[in-house]
Chain A
Amino acid sequence: DAGVIQSPRHEVTEMGQEVTLRCKPISGHNSLFWYRQTMMRGLELLIYFNNNVPIDDSGMPEDRFSAKMPNASFSTLKIQPSEPRDSAVYFCASSLGIGTNEKLFFGSGTQLSVL
């Protein structure tokens, strides 16, 4: 398996533009997570899905952020409109399920820069 696949690896955009980040979880994994990593705040959980259903989006910072998982092999995180303070590395991760036996596997991340 190729692991969790994220695209793009790097995204540079201007303030106010829409940004869409993409993720393909490991085949067979039922849970998918979106994290944001910054120097100031570390690794923050934004939202997670179980069996394609959003379970907890309390980490989503604002209404400008939205996430979807239309099927078991694809998820998107959208920021609209983007702001400079959204600049961060966004990681997608997946696991077999939700529980103490479920190891988390991260994608390579998307480095987002909003100018």
Chain B
Amino acid sequence: GENVEQHPSTLSVQEGDSAVIKCTYSDSASNYFPWYKQELGKRPQLIIDIRSNVGEKKDQRIAVTLNKTAKHFSLHITETQPEDSAVYFCAANNAGNMLTFGGGTRLMVKP
């Protein structure tokens, strides 16, 4: 089955700096890669996703890149703000189109 590895597990940045979270996946058939943000005590919420037919997607301060050959994808947050502090999860779909989640990255943005 699909295996998704996520790094780093914690990330601390200064407000205004960029943050990058990386994920690798094992199933070469995976073609959908969403990212979820989970604030403390809240539900995971989809913030951006990318499909295998594109290499990059942007939405304001967040962007995702995908390298299908290397089987890795990344989340980039620019000009970080304190409200970006949360746990971020990457995910990839498997042959049954079920999502397998990475272990999560706790991002802390220091003001």
**Given A42-B103, A42-B104, A100-B32, also A106-B97 (CB < 8 A):** no
Q: Mark A30-49, 1 if CB is under 8 A from B, else 0.
A: 00000000000011010010
Q: Which of B69-111 contact A (CB under 8 A)?
A: 89, 93, 96-104
B96 contacts A104, C-beta separation under 8 Å: no
* A contact residues around B49 at 8 Å (CB): 103
Residue of A nearest to B30 (CB): A100
- Determine which of A45, A56, A102, A106 lies in contact with B44 in the assembled complex, contact meaning CB atoms within 8 Å: A106
How far does the Cβ of A60 sit from chain B's closest Cβ, in whole Å?
Answer: 14
B43 contacts A45, C-beta separation under 8 Å: no
Q: Mark B9-51, 1 if CB is under 8 A from A, else 0.
A: 0000000000000000000000110100000001111100101
A104 contacts B99, C-beta separation under 8 Å: yes
* A contact residues around B44 at 8 Å (CB): 43, 91, 106
Q: Which of A44-89 contact B (CB under 8 A)?
A: 45, 48, 55-56
A43 contacts B101, C-beta separation under 8 Å: yes
Interchain CA distance A45-B31 in the complex, whole Å: 19
Residue of B nearest to A4 (CB): B43
* B contact residues around A107 at 8 Å (CB): 43
Q: A43-B101, A108-B43 are in contact. List 9 more A-B contacts (CB 8 A).
A: A43-B44, A45-B99, A100-B31, A100-B51, A102-B97, A104-B34, A104-B99, A106-B43, A108-B42
Can you report 19 residue pairs joining A to B where beta carbons are below 8 Å apart?
A: A42-B89, A42-B104, A43-B89, A43-B104, A55-B96, A91-B44, A98-B98, A99-B97, A100-B31, A100-B32, A100-B51, A100-B97, A102-B97, A103-B34, A103-B46, A106-B44, A106-B45, A107-B43, A109-B43
Give residues in B with beta carbon < 8 Å to A.
31-32, 34, 42-46, 49, 51, 89, 93, 96-104
